[in-house]
Amino acid sequence: MSRVTIADVASAAGVSKTAVSFAFNNPERLGQATLERVLGVAQDLGYAPHPAARALSMRRSGTIGVLIPQRLSTVFANPFLGELIQGLGELCEEHDLTLLLVPPLDGSLEGAIRQASVDGFISLGLSPDDRALGVLDRIGIPTVLIDSEGSPAHPAVNVDDQGGAEVAARHLLELGHRQLAIIVLPPARTQTHSTPTAARRLAGYLAAITAAGAPEPHSVVAGVSVAAGAHAFEALPRGRLRPTGVLAMSDMGAIGVVIAAQRAGLRVPDDISVVGFDDVPASAWTNPPLTTVRQPIVEKGRLAARLLIQRMKGRPVTSPAPLSTRLIVRNSTSRARNLDLPMYGREIE
């Protein structure tokens, strides 16, 4: 049976070959009705226009793509990715596969997907309704999500984000903290709503705070880097409303809060307590060592790779139960005191 060509799709859809090319590479250049007609015909005919789909059908790529919604410079600022790749890499080595990091290409994650010659994708942190997943569906590449919401089409590997966050907030509340702040993970790409991971962690924090009858926390959205955490600290309330406890959704953000607080003349944890999330190796070496929620990052990578390899072999896969999290108490948290201390001892440079 001969392979379906772009000319076949153009003829069946009643459009030019250029229009078919636009449908897959520059869909914004077509009207909605034409785009839907071309994509529908292509799907019916089984047309796969790009190298990744052809490599998959011939089982010759030997590569798994790690789909990353941010720029590599942003992602590598967080040691979380290194831990995750360690887990992914272990399974790839067992199966003689290689890993390819796939960040946005010229700002387009969809364009990067179309150019990547891989047998399957691990998607990191994308929301279930992200248009990039729609592209993956159309071209038929097996995909497993990490830190998202699973579905029959897209199994997802997660940890107990909500439970871990609830335990972290309860820890500060039991230490007597009532004025709390939350450093929230930013939306993925250009979306305006929270990622599934951020939503689950926020739900956990708020559940503990509401149950304790504490005031509504102050929230700041910040990225997963030390610099982002430091900027988030600068945005916290001053004076009587200053938080005595900070719950950060990433360790690097928490470390940034600690550094900025110390530069401002505050003592951690005497004046302000800080809790992170992830337990990356650096969290044990900060001054003071960081109290944080440990998630099994390496195991998360192993599990996601194992599921994807099964999908690539044509086996059915469902989302596994969330992996367990655990609070690791170190020296960045203590009982609330010095509640009347001014917010800053000096300005941050």
For 274, half-sphere exposure in the C-beta direction (CA atoms, 13 angstrom radius) is 34
Average pLDDT over residues 16-29: 81
190, two tokens: 């250009």
% residues pLDDT > 90 (the chain) = 62
pLDDT digit string (tens) for 140-156?
A: 889 999 999 988 888 99
- pLDDT in the model for residue 2: 64
CA distances from 259 to 117, 235, 254, 266 (A): 42, 14, 9, 10
- pLDDT in the model for residue 50: 54
pLDDT digit string (tens) for 248-293?
A: 999 999 999 999 999 999 999 999 999 999 999 999 999 999 999 9
Residues across the chain: 349
Domains, the chain, in order of start with CATH, read 1-49 (1.10.260.40), 50-158+300-323 (3.40.50.2300), 161-295 (3.40.50.2300)
pLDDT for residue 345 is more than 60:
no
Does residue 54 or residue 137 have the better pLDDT? Answer: 137
- pLDDT in the model for residue 55: 47
Alpha-carbon span 92 to 81, nearest angstrom: 16
In angstroms and rounded to an integer, the radius of gyration of the C-alpha atoms of the chain is 23
Alpha-carbon span 328 to 234, nearest angstrom: 26
% residues pLDDT > 70 (the chain) = 91
- pLDDT in the model for residue 245: 98
Confidence of residue 347 (pLDDT cuts 50, 70, 90): very low
CA distances from 138 to 119, 204, 241, 295 (A): 15, 35, 51, 33
CA distances from 64 to 67, 113, 116, 222 (A): 10, 12, 10, 30
48, two tokens: 């796969």
Does residue 294 or residue 26 have the better pLDDT? Answer: 294
- pLDDT in the model for residue 320: 96
What lies within 8 Å, CB to CB, of 43 at 6+ separation is: 138
Alpha-carbon span 271 to 19, nearest angstrom: 63
pTM: 0.80
* CA dihedral (13, 15, 17, 20) positive or negative: negative
pLDDT for residue 302 is more than 80:
yes
Question: Mean pLDDT across the chain, nearest whole number?
Answer: 88
pLDDT digit string (tens) for 116-125?
A: 889 999 999 8
- pLDDT in the model for residue 24: 77
Confidence of residue 48 (pLDDT cuts 50, 70, 90): low
Nearest to 244 by CA among 345, 347, 336: 336
- pLDDT in the model for residue 190: 59
pLDDT digit string (tens) for 175-212?
A: 999 999 999 999 876 566 788 999 999 999 999 999 99
Confidence of residue 343 (pLDDT cuts 50, 70, 90): very low
- pLDDT in the model for residue 1: 47
